[in-house]
Amino acid sequence: MGQLNVRAYLLVILFALGLFLVVAWGLANNWGIFRQPSRENVLNPEARSDAALEPGVIGLAAIDITLAVRPPSSQADVREVEITFTEALAYLRDDDPQADPVELCLDVLFSDVMPDAAEGYPHAYNTEAMCATPADGDFYPEEADYVAFVTDNVYLLDLYTKELAAPLVVNDPALVSLNFWYPYDRFVIHQNLYVVYSIILDDDSVIEGTIQPYLYWDLQTSGQRLWEIQLASESGTETTPDAVYTYDAVEMTFERPLLYRLVFPFFIIVMVLLIGLVPLLGDRDTLVDICAAMLFGIFGLKGILGPGDAMGQTLLDIALMGLYVVLAFAGLLFFINRVQWQRRQTAQEPPASP
């Protein structure tokens, strides 16, 4: 018996060491279950307007936009996805010696439907208009490499203002689902991102259009929010009788980390198996100790599996309540077995001698 105990002890130590190596290797290689929260994701590094790079043209060559995506908080009554602009840099090219730009204005809109000449951009989440006045200090006449393109005679305009610090809030229940199914809640947001610009020239003429932006995403997935975000983007062009619209079709998928989706059924199954041993206990004192430990152990699962204790009713809460019911049923079986055992003992006792 002693040799078996030593062997079991060594097996546990070896298993723990092997598990440690697997976890370390998974973290180093960013495996799905051990994937660390993503902070950066560039979707379209080649976005530019080739027409603005032609000789003798005034036009918006490119626009760099950094967006911070903040997923819903599990502790909020209303789930909201916040999209905040943290940078906006425009490359305004002026290769026309006969005219000069005096102002550039941008509107950035998220819309789930195509624009309409009469209605404009329905269902749109839009920012405050971003405007900048080109100055001599912003002009670079020499040809330079701007990563996505090479050009000369370009204004570099920083369009970011404090007004952009207010996030776009997406809280439509049709887009952002509730967290009832935690940790299996998942939702997908499909939006078209339009960057609409207007360039006012010194002769009062206006150049208008849309441009596909260079998008740099900052994903905030840590802390009590506990989300994984997958981004997909596809550039598109919509031609109407009035205009040609260039846009980015953005798909944002929000789901819980794979680790929690796997650990949740594991804990539930293990707790059910442990509760199943309750009717096999030998005496009532042991039953009291085990049941007390089970009560606190089941309650502690909420803190282990959940990002917070104020999430409302979720699948996790229902599962934990179910464990309490199973525990109560197991305790009842214990007493039924004890009563039946006592009856059998009484029936087997020899009758008292006269």
Report CA 46 to chain centroid distance, whole Å.
25
Question: What local confidence, expressed as pLDDT, does residue 124 receive?
Answer: 61
Regarding whether 55 and 20 lie in a shared domain, the answer is no
Cα separation, 200 vs 207, in Å, equals 7
Regarding whether 65 and 117 lie in a shared domain, the answer is yes
Please indicate, yes or no, if residue 322 is contained in any of the structural domains: yes
Please indicate, yes or no, if residue 353 is contained in any of the structural domains: no
Regarding whether 338 and 197 lie in a shared domain, the answer is no
Question: What local confidence, expressed as pLDDT, does residue 88 receive?
Answer: 86
Question: What local confidence, expressed as pLDDT, does residue 11 receive?
Answer: 76
Regarding whether 302 and 279 lie in a shared domain, the answer is yes
Domain count, the chain: 3
Domain extent, residue 28, equals 1-35
Question: What local confidence, expressed as pLDDT, does residue 29 receive?
Answer: 78
Cα separation, 304 vs 235, in Å, equals 41
Regarding whether 285 and 203 lie in a shared domain, the answer is no
Question: What local confidence, expressed as pLDDT, does residue 40 receive?
Answer: 57
Query: Residue 77 phi/psi, 5° resolution?
Result: -65, -40
List of residues 6+ apart from 289 with CB closer than 8 A:
none
Each residue of 185-241: pLDDT tens digit?
888 888 888 888 999 999 889 998 888 888 888 876 655 677 888 888 888 887 776
Regarding whether 243 and 292 lie in a shared domain, the answer is no
Regarding whether 229 and 109 lie in a shared domain, the answer is yes
Question: What local confidence, expressed as pLDDT, does residue 248 receive?
Answer: 85
Cα separation, 135 vs 156, in Å, equals 10
Please indicate, yes or no, if residue 354 is contained in any of the structural domains: no
Regarding whether 52 and 31 lie in a shared domain, the answer is no
Query: Residue 172 phi/psi, 5° resolution?
Result: -65, 125
Regarding whether 284 and 230 lie in a shared domain, the answer is no
Question: What local confidence, expressed as pLDDT, does residue 141 receive?
Answer: 92
Please indicate, yes or no, if residue 158 is contained in any of the structural domains: yes
pTM of the model: 0.74
Among 256, 281, 302, where does a domain finish?
256
Question: What local confidence, expressed as pLDDT, does residue 38 receive?
Answer: 56
Please indicate, yes or no, if residue 331 is contained in any of the structural domains: yes
Cα separation, 236 vs 253, in Å, equals 20
Regarding whether 230 and 186 lie in a shared domain, the answer is yes
Residue indicated by tokens 């006792």: 349
Please indicate, yes or no, if residue 228 is contained in any of the structural domains: yes
Each residue of 2-31: pLDDT tens digit?
565 677 667 777 887 887 888 788 777 777
Among 256, 275, 303, where does a domain finish?
256
Regarding whether 46 and 181 lie in a shared domain, the answer is yes
Please indicate, yes or no, if residue 205 is contained in any of the structural domains: yes
Please indicate, yes or no, if residue 215 is contained in any of the structural domains: yes
Question: What local confidence, expressed as pLDDT, does residue 354 receive?
Answer: 54
* C-beta of residue 248 within 8 angstroms of C-beta of residue 235: yes
Cα separation, 33 vs 36, in Å, equals 9
Among 208, 231, 256, where does a domain finish?
256
Cα separation, 81 vs 65, in Å, equals 18
Question: What local confidence, expressed as pLDDT, does residue 104 receive?
Answer: 93
Regarding whether 77 and 7 lie in a shared domain, the answer is no
Cα separation, 77 vs 75, in Å, equals 7
Those residues of the chain that have pLDDT short of 50 are: 117-118
